[in-house]
Amino acid sequence: MDLSFLEVLERETVLEVLRRDKQLRIIEEDRIRRMKYELQELRRKGAKSYARQYGERTCARCQRPLGKFWNSGAVCRGCSHRICSKCRIGAVDWKCTVCHAYRDVKIRSGEWFLEEKAKKFPVTKDKYETVGEKLLKISNVLSHISVVPPTPPPHLDYNFLSRSGDLKNSRPFTKSMENLMVSFTSHIKKISTSQNDVREDLLSVDGGRKPARFKFSTQKSLSDTDINKSSTLFKVPSLPNLFKKSKDSDHEGSSTGAEEETSFSSEQSGGKRGSCSSISTDCSILDGLSVTGELELAVAYNPGSSCLDITVGACRALVCGDGKKKCRPFVKLHVLPDKSCKLKTSVKKNTTDPVFNEVLKFDIERHLLYGKRLQASVWHSGTLKRKVFLGEVLIPLDAWTSNNKDLQGFNWYPLCPKRPENSSGGAAEHDRVKHSSNNLGV
Amino acid sequence: MASANATYGQKESSDQNFDYMFKILIIGNSSVGKTSFLFRYADDSFTPAFVSTVGIDFKVKTIYRNDKRIKLQIWDTAGQERYRTITTAYYRGAMGFILMYDITNEESFNAVQDWSTQIKTYSWDNAQVLLVGNKCDMEDERVVSGDRGRQLSEHLGFEFFEASAKDNINVKQTFERLVDIICEKMSESLDAGDPAVTGAKQGPQLTEQPAPPHQDCAC
């Protein structure tokens, strides 16, 4: 499906709606990701985090010994494990803590619906991908090409977006450009191409035809790829997998967390490129501390000064390894994918609920916000310039390309664990997996 | 931090403070009042002027129902045939539907069967549908009787409301009923795959909802 049958303004209207939807989805995916991470944590805290052997006479959740006649535990009807009376939720039809949390996550994440839906529509490559996402991708790619022509068009992406459908009527491109466009659109028409495929197409075109001119657009689309890639990184293994795994390893008697994790990631990495690293992030968090707390931000675009004004309000409930007294938090901002330009707030002393109220400004043209993300990370400024990561928030800036009043004003964002660097190659990822599984073994 | 709660309300769409999210789609012929219905519910506003929806649009509203905060993403679709490829693409992601006709427009009522077929084709098997006869404030121009609407809804297996976006009749009730029946389906779906069949005593069990106060428009 494409939007070519729509008129220029109509297409713009629809794309705007799709962008709003994407914004919503990214936030939702983030919420789900954290939810699943918490579930994973809960499981980890149970049986397998103890070095003790798994035995029939201990509670599968808290590992407390069970008696033969009294406090002998009972079998959970969800997971078939013997559970002590303290690890049960509900009265008559009780479940163990993990089964309960599993059900709860299934409800809250909407996973139940995805499963139901899959009964009728067998899951395609990416169950989260929607039509809107595809359409946006097309329009993105098309709009990025607009930067390429030798004489840059007076207005950037936005106007071009609407024009891209009827190329023939648009301003004269060089012949080769037109060819390029045609080959592009035909590539993209085969829409089910995954993001990686699209990227390969880009690169091959890049190598084949007009390397010099194409450079910019490749860069841009790479950044676009990064975004999409990172959105696949949000995806923690699907619930059934997670749960199945837990059952399996529960039965394996002495299985340690480490074994579980490694086998898990190898199983996943077969499927998707991002998955392996997503698991490794989840593990690597364990190196340090778990990330909690929230960050208050107000993001506004000031058309007068062409600035993105970010007001860092406050943080609350930060977790700092050195204890509350010694936490010296500050906030660092980047507009991704550009890492070179960063802004920092002042460092607040001895608090896990710092109030900053500082306005930081990025000089950036509004239309360039498209496809960019604001990364706001909270750090503890330790002794000897040692910095400890306390969590981050990623906000897609697409929505600020238009003048949207809804988006102004303060908003609390939950802090998330760090995402892996996109630049890290396979080796680095591998390293991290190994590293974290070592940690888990302890 | 007292200010925290105040800021939550400001921006519904980015708010993560909810228990779960439902996606609802409103469908029906052009000009039956889908957009007005949504605006009445989400913004409590009404404009008599007719502006045709381009393709699709949505609004977000968070409601508090049975001790749960439920975020609704309500998709409003264009009724016009030419947008059909876009709108049908969104059927798949919707948990529930509001299928709307205009009680003063016979044609819109006759099309209900077709819309219902569309849902069967493009949506999941347990899609929950409410049939809504809109514009029940215009009693003088009524051409579709309440009984016919009810009969058709029984035939199709949907629940039925007559409503008016203009006079704000049964708008909230429609959405809340739809949310409730989606919740019921959710519990069923979870318990079906659950050997313990425990759902009855815990979790968001919303089946105890009594039947809606007035099935029909009072006027």
Cβ distance of B126 and A116 shorter than 8 Å: yes
Helix, strand or coil, per DSSP, at residue A295: strand
Nearest residue of chain A to residue B203 (CA atoms): A104
Instruction: Identify all chain A residues contacting B202, using CB atoms and an 8 Å cutoff.
Output: 89-90, 93, 95, 100
Element (H, E) at A89: strand A88-89
For the cut 60, the answer to whether the pLDDT of residue A436 exceeds it is no
Cβ distance of A119 and B195 shorter than 8 Å: no
pLDDT (0 to 100) of residue A348: 86
Best to test chain A binding among B11, B12, B21 (most A CBs inside 10 Å): B21
Cβ distance of B95 and A13 shorter than 8 Å: no
pLDDT (0 to 100) of residue B2: 39
B117-122 — which CB contacts under 8 Å span 24+ positions? Answer: B118/B27, B118/B88, B118/B91, B119/B27, B119/B91, B122/B88, B122/B91, B122/B92
Query: Between vectors from CA A189 to CA A183 and to CA A191, what angle results, nearest 5°?
Result: 130
Range name among A67-71, A228-232, A289-293 with the lowest pLDDT average:
A228-232
φ/ψ of A136, rounded to 5, equals -65, -40
**Pairwise pLDDT comparison (B28 vs A142), residue with the higher score:** B28
For the cut 80, the answer to whether the pLDDT of residue A273 exceeds it is no
Instruction: Identify all chain A residues contacting B16, using CB atoms and an 8 Å cutoff.
Output: 27, 30-31, 414
Alpha helix ranges (H) inside A46-110: 97-109
For the cut 50, the answer to whether the pLDDT of residue A67 exceeds it is yes
The CA distance from B34 to the nearest CA of chain A, in Å, is: 17
φ/ψ of B65, rounded to 5, equals -140, 125
CA nearest neighbour of A248 among A13, A48, A9: A48
User: How far is the C-alpha of A232 from the C-alpha of A83, rounded, in Å?
Assistant: 36
Of A141-155, A262-276, A415-429, B51-65, give the range with the top mean pLDDT: B51-65
Whether A362 contacts A341, CB under 8 Å: yes
pLDDT (0 to 100) of residue A414: 81
User: Is residue B101 packed enough to be buried (19+ CB in 10 Å), middle (13-18) or exposed (0-12)?
Assistant: buried
User: How far is the C-alpha of A34 from the C-alpha of B8, rounded, in Å?
Assistant: 19
Instruction: Identify all chain B residues contacting A14, using CB atoms and an 8 Å cutoff.
Output: 54-56, 86
Instruction: Identify all chain A residues contacting B56, using CB atoms and an 8 Å cutoff.
Output: 14, 17
pLDDT (0 to 100) of residue B102: 96
For the cut 60, the answer to whether the pLDDT of residue A437 exceeds it is no
pLDDT band at A88 (very low <50, low <70, confident <90, very high): confident
pLDDT (0 to 100) of residue A407: 64
For the cut 60, the answer to whether the pLDDT of residue A400 exceeds it is yes
Average pLDDT over residues A119-130: 62
Of A39-43, A296-300, B173-177, give the range with the top mean pLDDT: B173-177
Positive/negative CA dihedral, B25, B26, B30, B36: negative
Whether B202 contacts A90, CB under 8 Å: yes
pLDDT (0 to 100) of residue A302: 82
pLDDT (0 to 100) of residue B33: 95
Tens of pLDDT, residue by residue over A221-254, are 333 334 343 343 444 455 555 555 444 444 443 3
Instruction: Identify all chain A residues contacting B82, using CB atoms and an 8 Å cutoff.
Output: 5
Q: Does A78 touch chain B (CB under 8 A)?
A: yes
* 0.90 surpassed by complex ipTM: no
First to last CA, chain B: 48
Nearest residue of chain A to residue B199 (CA atoms): A93
pLDDT band at A193 (very low <50, low <70, confident <90, very high): very low
Q: Does A90 touch chain B (CB under 8 A)?
A: yes
Whether A135 contacts A189, CB under 8 Å: no
pLDDT (0 to 100) of residue A190: 45
Cβ distance of A412 and B8 shorter than 8 Å: yes
Q: Alpha-carbon Rg of chain B, whole angstroms?
A: 18
Residue with tokens 């890492």: A339
Mean pLDDT across chain A: 65
Of A169-183, A259-273, A376-390, B205-219, give the range with the top mean pLDDT: A376-390
pLDDT (0 to 100) of residue B57: 94
Cβ distance of A17 and B20 shorter than 8 Å: no
pLDDT (0 to 100) of residue A328: 84
pLDDT (0 to 100) of residue A53: 54
Cβ distance of A115 and B95 shorter than 8 Å: no
Tens of pLDDT, residue by residue over A6-18, are 777 888 888 899 9
pLDDT (0 to 100) of residue A103: 86
Q: Alpha-carbon Rg of chain A, whole angstroms?
A: 25
User: How far is the C-alpha of B21 from the C-alpha of B73, rounded, in Å?
Assistant: 7
Instruction: Identify all chain B residues contacting A93, using CB atoms and an 8 Å cutoff.
Output: 196-198, 200-202
Instruction: Identify all chain A residues contacting B55, using CB atoms and an 8 Å cutoff.
Output: 6, 10, 13-14, 17
The CA distance from B218 to the nearest CA of chain A, in Å, is: 35
Cβ distance of B202 and A21 shorter than 8 Å: no
pLDDT (0 to 100) of residue A264: 37
Element (H, E) at A280: helix A273-284
Query: Between vectors from CA A283 to CA A339 and to CA A59, what angle results, nearest 5°?
Result: 155
**Pairwise pLDDT comparison (A146 vs B71), residue with the higher score:** B71
Name the amino acid, one letter, at A284. Answer: S
The residue ranges of chain B whose pLDDT is under 70 are 1-14, 193-219
Helix axis angle for B171-192 and A97-109, nearest 10°, is 140
Name the amino acid, one letter, at A416. Answer: C
pLDDT (0 to 100) of residue A405: 61
